[in-house]
Structure 1
Amino acid sequence: MLPQILLSLALLNLFYLTAFFAISIWLNVAETHYFLGYGKKFIRFTIRQTTFHIGVYIPIVMLSPIYTITNDGQRMKYPWEFFGEGIFRRFVATLGGAIGLILSAILIFTALAYFTPDYVISKEEVNKHGIEPSEWAMQSGFVPGDKIVAVNGKDYETFQDLISPGLITAPEVSYTVLRDGKEIEIKLQGLAESLNRRGDPFIYPRIPAEVLKVVSNSPADQAGIKPGDRITMVNDKPVTYIKEVTSVLKEKIDEEKVLLTIERKTPDSTQTLTLEVFPGHQSVIGVQWNPSIAYTEKRNSLLQALWMGPARAFTTLKTNVIAFGRIISGVLAPKQSLSGPIGIANGPTIQLWTITGVYALIYACYNLLPLPRSAFWELIALAYEGITKRKYPDRLSLQVPELY
């Protein structure tokens, strides 16, 4: 993950600078000579009337300075300092890097929506066995086996729709569930805060207790459990789903044996066996469960991708803005990730571009906040000039750090 994050940050640095200089040159708010990096120049090129020299350039924030080379020396001259140009031009140039990041994120999400399929859990698959609520979800009104038929009074298509960022950050969410033939409405408030406090999954599809793999020399292996076995009883308590098995196992006393009744299918018949198991630490028996969830591959047309890309990008942007506000207010912890429900697809390449798209939107927002090395401080000078019709006073120098 760390190499992907570093590569993502490097790409974002390049996207930001490319857009910043492209817009600055286009609007004529750029100097005639810039130097990027350290040491001697290795590369030289000219765009319109602006020349770039590149030395040892490391495309990571705070590792590669950029200087404007003038008769007065070497320092970065920012767009707001080009007083001979219109204030609107300087405003757009100041936000050129942030604009580039937003456009990059839209292109990334659009490309991902078009070139990579979504693997989703359909509504029918969710309701085949119903949902498995977490402990606190049960305290909120859910029970194991509830079948969700609507969210906020509307139909849905996939399980991902039930835990989307928009729902998680909403002040109130309403789920309509089918239970014992009757529809019941469950309203939740502050879902994001609850997720942050407890840290466990909210709801997830209910999965039958079928063994996929058995760990070698584990209690399950020693008892004779095999892949494909389905557990139907634990200590004479009927069970069907994984959560039921684990809950009963947690009730046992250390070193106490457990009787498992299993169904084992053979080519000719189905056998019912009772096996003695001595669970290990934390009641672990040493099996890997079969997820037994059918994922549906969903591919988008070009028109769908052109709509979904910007929609996903701005949903991510909205989610992170809301999350940031709640982090500042102390409602959410910084470690809480609200972009997770959008999903990071399988595969390192897809994951890299997803991370890059999300970070691009976060860093674009960063530039509008009063934080170190953000464009916010430059906008102050432009706002002062726009309101007072005078240049920003030298005695109130912004002392903006060099652009990295």
Structure 2
Amino acid sequence: MENLVMIGQLLLGLSILIGLHELGHLLAAKAFGMRVEKFSIGFPPKIVGFKFKETEYSIGAIPLGGFVKISGMIDESLDTEQMAREPEPWEFRAKPAWQRLIVMMGGIIVNVVLGIVIFVVLAYQQGDAYIPRAEIVKNGIVALEYGEKLGLETGDKILKVNGKEYERFSEVQRGADVLLGDNSYYTIDRMGQTVNVSLPADMLEIFADKETATQFIEPRLPFAVGEVEKGSNAEKAGLKPGDRIIAVNGKEIMFFDQFDAALQENAGEEITLQVLRNVENRPENSGVVGDPITLTAQVSEEGKLGFRVRSLLDIKTEQYGFVESIVKGTEKAFESVWLNIRGFGKIFSGDVNVSESVKGPIGIREIYGGTWDWTRFWSITGLLSMWLAFVNFLPIPALDGGHVAFLTYEIISGTAPSDRFLEVAQKAGMVIIFAIMGLVIFNDLFNLFF
């Protein structure tokens, strides 16, 4: 089922991105009186289609791209017979260079606008929830498997990243300075001693691995009992929502990782719990704690009692008005482009293994995840829209950026490249693109099965 959800999100995301990208080209072409022969989401073979006026609209079986066939344009169709005839007024080649430039920029512009709109709407609707630095300095972190390999320890209080104080835990966990920085390090308070822990240059590659990314660090969690499952060992023991568990078998408990470790140590056994009840009803800083209640509970063989954990972290939420959302959403959209550029820099410098960091459709499907969360779906789609715009703007023949480069040359020099040159460049670009696509898909399959 998870696989179907992943595939469904991938197909929907790609359909939106590719469809709107190609629609940008189509609308710009039609606005300048150019004839659009075909509009396709996905590559052939055609699954379904219809014709409206002079344009055939279709959906292809290979959902890795799309295309718009504009009359009189050297594109992936390589229609040399049409190019051999005298240009007609409705053809791409008959129009001024500036109009042709806008047509080729149409898809890129639409993807940029789409990415910005998505992030603006998310900022307006969701605001921005985050764990503030004060909570990490107060409670510390849980060092998971990979975090421990880097030299981090549970209970470490991260004070700075690369010598600078941070605002949010996300900056510590997977911020740009952590994933893309050079010679990055944490400054940590470890049991009253200040130490530095260095981070490897290939953190981006490490986080590209889903399993490793989830085994780095987490905020240490002060907790209370949440919803108690009916018929569970927690209910039989007398635990109630809001209870604070302060000791297991006489051993003090402050954080959930300590409680979970105690349950694992006593799996299948009976334990005693010291619990504070109705803590929320006491005045803050009253100094009144009261006597703990002692309960007896049976731990399951899986090391569980049967209640949901309620986090007591002080999570901050910033809500934005409409104008603020436009600013914040736009900033986040272009920040994603800058992070992509820095990521490519890491790959080209050799700090990051390309096979571990570059994701194709199979890898992107895993990024969407196996549960359907609309906020996550739109966040990832917004990131992909900005990434698609960036990649398409690269000056590679057969990509929009290649056409933009040739048209910019024509506008500046006043001389258009020959049709023969454009045809050869288009073929070379297609070879490059298909080779890259093949390598990326092979890399996805290799990472999936090996």
TM-score scaled by length of structure 2: 0.66
Structure 1, unpaired ranges of 5+? 45-51
Match of 2:25 among 20, 35, 40: 20
Which of these residues, 235, 243, 259, is aligned with residue 245 of structure 1? 259
Cα RMSD (Å): 4.6
Instruction: Write out aligned runs for 1:235-314 (5 A).
Output: 235-252=249-266, 255=268, 257-265=269-277, 270-281=291-302, 283-301=303-321, 304-314=324-334
Q: Deviations over 1:132-178 (max 9, x none)?
A: 22233234333333333322222222222323441323344322233
Tell me how far apart the structure 2 counterparts of residues 102 and 229 of structure 1 sit (CA, whole Å).
49
Moved more, 351-360 or 374-383: 374-383
Structure 1 residue 207: Cα displacement: 1.4
Aligned partners of 1:320 and 1:362 also within 8 Å: yes
1:210 alignment partner, SS class: strand
Match of 1:47 in 2: none
* TM-score (normalised: structure 1): 0.72
Q: Of 357, 367, 374, which residue of structure 2 is paired with 1:332?
A: 357
8 Å CA contact 1:264–1:273 kept in 2: the answer is no
Contact 1:5 1:352 in 2 (8 A): no
CA contact (8 A) 1:35 1:69 kept: no
CA shift digits 1:5-63 (9 cap, x unpaired): 5444343234212321344456x5x733535466554x55xxxxxxx546567999579
Equivalent of residue 198 in structure 1, options 167, 192, 212:
212
Asked if structure 1 preserves the Cα contact closer than 8 Å seen for 2:273 and 2:297, the reply is no
Aligned-pair CA distance for 1:206: 1.5
Deviation, 1:298, is 0.5
Distance in 2, matches of 1:192 and 1:328, equals 9
**Per-residue deviation, 1:242:** 0.9
The alignment partner of 1:150 has SS state of strand
Q: Structure 1 residues 33 and 279 mapped into 2: Cα distance closer, same or farther (>3 Å)?
A: closer
Aligned partner letter, 1:289: V
Deviations, residues 248-269 of structure 1 (Å, cap 9, x unaligned): 33334x64x1423221415895
1:216 equivalent among 230, 236, 250 = 230
Q: Aligned AA for 2:418?
A: R
d(CA) in 1 for partners of 2:300 and 2:159?
Answer: 38
Cα distance in 1 for residues equivalent to 2:422 and 2:151:
62
For residues 280 and 66 of structure 1, the distance between their equivalents in structure 2, rounded to whole angstroms, comes to: 60
Judged with a 3 Å threshold, the aligned counterparts in structure 2 of structure 1 residues 32 and 370 are, in CA distance, closer, same or farther, namely closer
Could you tell me how far apart the structure 1 residues matched to 2:190 and 2:36 are?
70
The 1:178–1:19 alpha-carbon spacing in structure 2 relative to 1, beyond 3 Å, is: same
User: What's the secondary structure of 2:184's corresponding residue?
Assistant: strand
Distance apart, 1:101 and its partner CA: 0.8
Counterpart Cα distance in 2 of 1:32 and 1:122: 55
Letter in 2 for 1:330: S
Aligned to 1:227: 241
Match of 1:189 in 2: 200
Q: 1:175 to 1:328 in 2, by over 3 A?
A: closer
1:118 Cα offset (Å) = 1.2
C-alpha contact 1:133 1:202 (8 A) present in aligned 2: yes
Write the distance in 2 (CA, Å) between the matches of 1:138 and 1:397. 51
Percent identity for Structure 1 against Structure 2: 22
Q: Which structure carries more helix by proportion?
A: 2
Relative distance call for 1:180 and 1:99 in structure 2 (3 A) is same
Shift of the 116–216 alpha-carbon distance from structure 1 to 2, 3 Å rule, reads closer
Q: Which residue of 1 aligns with 2:142?
A: 132
Counterpart of 1:226 in structure 2: which amino acid?
K
**Structure 1 residues 394 and 20 mapped into 2: Cα distance closer, same or farther (>3 Å)?**
closer
Query: For the residues of structure 2 that align with 1:284 and 1:333, how far apart are their CA atoms?
Result: 39
Aligned in 2, Cα 1:135/1:231: closer, same or farther, shift over 3 Å? Answer: farther
User: How many aligned positions are there?
Assistant: 379
Supply the distance in 1 between the matched residues of 2:78 and 2:423 (Cα, whole angstroms).
Answer: 18
Maintained 8 Å contact 2:101/2:408: no
Greater mean alpha carbon deviation, residues 287-296 or residues 300-309:
300-309
- For residues 2-401 of structure 1, the aligned pairs below 5 Å read 5-24=10-29, 31-36=34-39, 40-41=50-51, 43-44=52-53, 53=55, 61=63, 66-68=68-70, 82-83=92-93, 90=100, 93-167=103-177, 168-190=179-201, 191-195=203-207, 196=209, 198-252=212-266, 255=268, 257-265=269-277, 270-281=291-302, 283-301=303-321, 304-320=324-340, 326=347, 329-332=354-357, 334=359, 350-367=375-392, 374-375=399-400, 389-392=417-420, 396=424, 398=426
| Residue 172 to residue 109, structure 1, CA distance change in 2 (3 Å) | farther
Structure 1: which amino acid aligns with 2:35? T
Mapped contact 1:219–1:280 kept (Cα < 8 A):
no
CA contact (8 A) 1:384 1:390 kept: no
- In structure 2, distance between residues paired with 1:136 and 1:395: 51
Question: Do 2:123 and 2:325's aligned partners in 1 also have CA atoms closer than 8 Å?
Answer: yes
Q: Given residue 220 of structure 1, which amino acid in structure 2 is its aligned partner?
A: A
**Contact 1:165/1:315 (8 A) holds in 2:** no
Offset at 1:292? Answer: 1.6
Q: Does the aligned pair in 2 maintain the 1:378–1:398 contact within 8 Å?
A: no
